[in-house]
Amino acid sequence: MDGNGRWAQQRALPRTSGHSAAEATVIDVIEAARSAGVEWLSLYAFSTENWRRPDEEIDFLMRLVRRVVRKHALLLHARGIRCRLLGAEDPRIPAPLARDFADLMTLTEANRGMTLTVAFDHGGRQDIVAAARSLIRAGVPADAVDQACFAAHLPVPDTPDVDLVIRTSGEQRISNFMLWQVAYAEWIFPPVLWPDFRAPHLLECLHEYRRRDRRFGGVAPQAKG
């Protein structure tokens, strides 16, 4: 979800205004994805690298995320959405926000609609290191470690591989997002800034994804005749 700062800059507003404007996009995209039949949706809300931002901006983001979680928790639950968290281990995360995340996951854990994963204080490299440490602690022999075994030790291990990554604002880089899971993901980089991104943009990306020929390193079968 990229472009909040540039959205605000274009309007001569503080960066925090861009973050506030992004709330409407988040809810619109969640609703549109659910209606389109998307079974797993992940939103990259705050990365391990985002701690390098100014303290004032980080404090604002923590308050904003808490307000959004508390405001929309019952709506997400009513929609049958199961909410998960990927990350959120840094002790700098305010305790009230951590409790709100935990309460949201408890509230929605029995839901069987779309699964919404919020990547917060998330980093793909951090997850891979965590998996390696888990394997070592479990005493798994080196020869027994294969891809399936490694994936089983990742945080939130039942998360499926990512099919499609949408990065708004035209930026074209991974930014440490779910590095293991995006190995064969399709990528789309719409130029629209995140606060302006809406359901029609998401549907356009889904349509583009369905048009792509996904071969996973193989070749298309040859027609006979």
Q: In this structure, what CATH number is given to the domain that contains residue 124?
A: 3.40.1180.10
Q: What single DSSP character describes residue 52? A: G
Structural domain including 84 reads 4-211
Residue 199 inside a domain? The answer is yes
Residue 196 inside a domain? The answer is yes
Residue 216 inside a domain? The answer is no
Closest CA to 115 of 166, 48, 160: 160
Could you read off the pLDDT of 13-70 as tens digits, one per residue?
999 999 999 999 999 999 999 999 999 999 999 999 999 999 999 999 999 999 999 9
Give me the active site residues, please: 2, 50
Q: How far apart are CA 10 and CA 13, in angstroms?
A: 8
Residue 224 inside a domain? The answer is no
For residue 215, the model assigns a pLDDT of 77
Q: How far apart are CA 85 and CA 4, in angstroms?
A: 22
Residue 132 inside a domain? The answer is yes
For residue 216, the model assigns a pLDDT of 73
The percent of residues above 70 in pLDDT, for the chain, comes to 97
For residue 218, the model assigns a pLDDT of 73
Its pTM stands at 0.92
Give the DSSP H or E segment for 27.
helix 15-35
Could you read off the pLDDT of 149-197 as tens digits, one per residue?
999 999 999 999 999 999 999 999 999 999 999 999 999 999 999 999 9
Give the DSSP H or E segment for 40.
strand 40-47
Residue carrying the six token digits 């509230």 = 107
Could you read off the pLDDT of 130-151 as tens digits, one per residue?
999 999 999 999 999 999 999 9
Q: How far apart are CA 109 and CA 196, in angstroms?
A: 31
Q: What single DSSP character describes residue 163? A: S
pLDDT-derived band at 214 (thresholds 50, 70, 90) equals confident
Residue 221 inside a domain? The answer is no
Residue 165 inside a domain? The answer is yes
For residue 73, the model assigns a pLDDT of 98
Whether the CB-CB separation of 104 and 83 falls below 8 Å is answered with: yes
The more confidently predicted of residues 189 and 218 is 189
* Structural domain total, the chain: 1
Residue carrying the six token digits 């997850």 = 127
Residue 27 inside a domain? The answer is yes
